Amino acid sequence: MTTVEQLIIKIFDDQEVNYLTIKKLKRKSKIKKILRLTDKMSNTDIKNKLLPHINNAIRVVKGYKTGLYVTRNISDAEIIINAIKKKPCSLNQLKVYFPIQANKLVQLVSQMVMSGQLCVNFTVKGIINLSITNNNTEKNESILPEIKTRSDREKMKEAYDHVGGGHSFVRIHAMREYLNWSTDRFNQTLEQLTRELVIQLHCGDPSALTEQQLEDSYLDDEKQVCITITWRSE
């Protein structure tokens, strides 16, 4: 049986998009039927109906003019790149009906321009158009892990907050268990955050852990068994 999430992903695939407004989604008959949506329902009501069906493939976010959007569960940067790749446009054009709020979008685009993921072109009328940096194929492949990490970083912070219950010195094995990622994915995210000084790794006391917990902790490049982390900056 197809789930709501799978139905929505199929709609995205059919329309070759990464997001839709809640309003547009409401018009899809299958969705309307499964979720028992009525015309009088507000966007928030629809969101509440939708949330129990969301697992890991989609997310509901606030976007342009605080409207609600359903997007694929990919990073914001990836959504931006795909949109611009489809049709280069100005920032003003991009922000309309986009699933990222204007302030955040401006910040992200600036960062992506600075890091060379996006480039800017001027039209004759002086309008700044955004486009993907040349050597797209090759470049995009190298960008993808970065994008993935950016998204994973948020998930790791969520895991940190959830497992630690708002406290510091959160055990790595518990976060690993919570996220249930592949070892490489977890370790790479941890290493990137360490390099960026976002987190600090701590050795702690190995004798307080079971053998399995020790194995699920993290061995750094200086051969120290790290047991907990502390999130130092956002």
According to CB under 8 A, which one of 18, 117, 149, 228 is a site residue for another protein?
A: 228
- Does residue number 54 form part of the binding site for another protein (CB under 8 A)? no
- Does residue number 115 form part of the binding site for another protein (CB under 8 A)? no
- Does residue number 36 form part of the binding site for another protein (CB under 8 A)? no
Residue among 104 and 232 whose Cβ is closer to another protein: 232
Rg of the chain over Cα atoms, rounded to whole angstroms, equals 21
Distance CA 31, CA 197 (A): 44
195-214 binders of another protein (CB under 8 A): 195, 197, 200-211, 214
Distance CA 150, CA 98 (A): 19
Residue among 82 and 230 whose Cβ is closer to another protein: 230
- Does residue number 231 form part of the binding site for another protein (CB under 8 A)? no
**Each residue of 139-173: b (16+ CB within 10 Å) or e?**
ebeebeebbbbbbbbebbeebbeebbeeeeebbbb
According to CB under 8 A, which one of 58, 105, 164, 192 is a site residue for another protein?
A: 164
According to CB under 8 A, which one of 41, 89, 113, 225 is a site residue for another protein?
A: 225
In this structure, what DSSP letter does residue 222 have? T
Distance CA 146, CA 72 (A): 18
Distance CA 120, CA 159 (A): 36
Residue among 80 and 170 whose Cβ is closer to another protein: 170
172-191 binders of another protein (CB under 8 A): none
Contact residues for 76 (Cβ-Cβ < 8 A; gap 6+): 100, 104, 108, 150
- Does residue number 62 form part of the binding site for another protein (CB under 8 A)? no
- Positions touching another protein (CB under 8 A) are 164, 167-171, 194-195, 197, 200-211, 214-215, 219, 222-225, 227-228, 230, 232
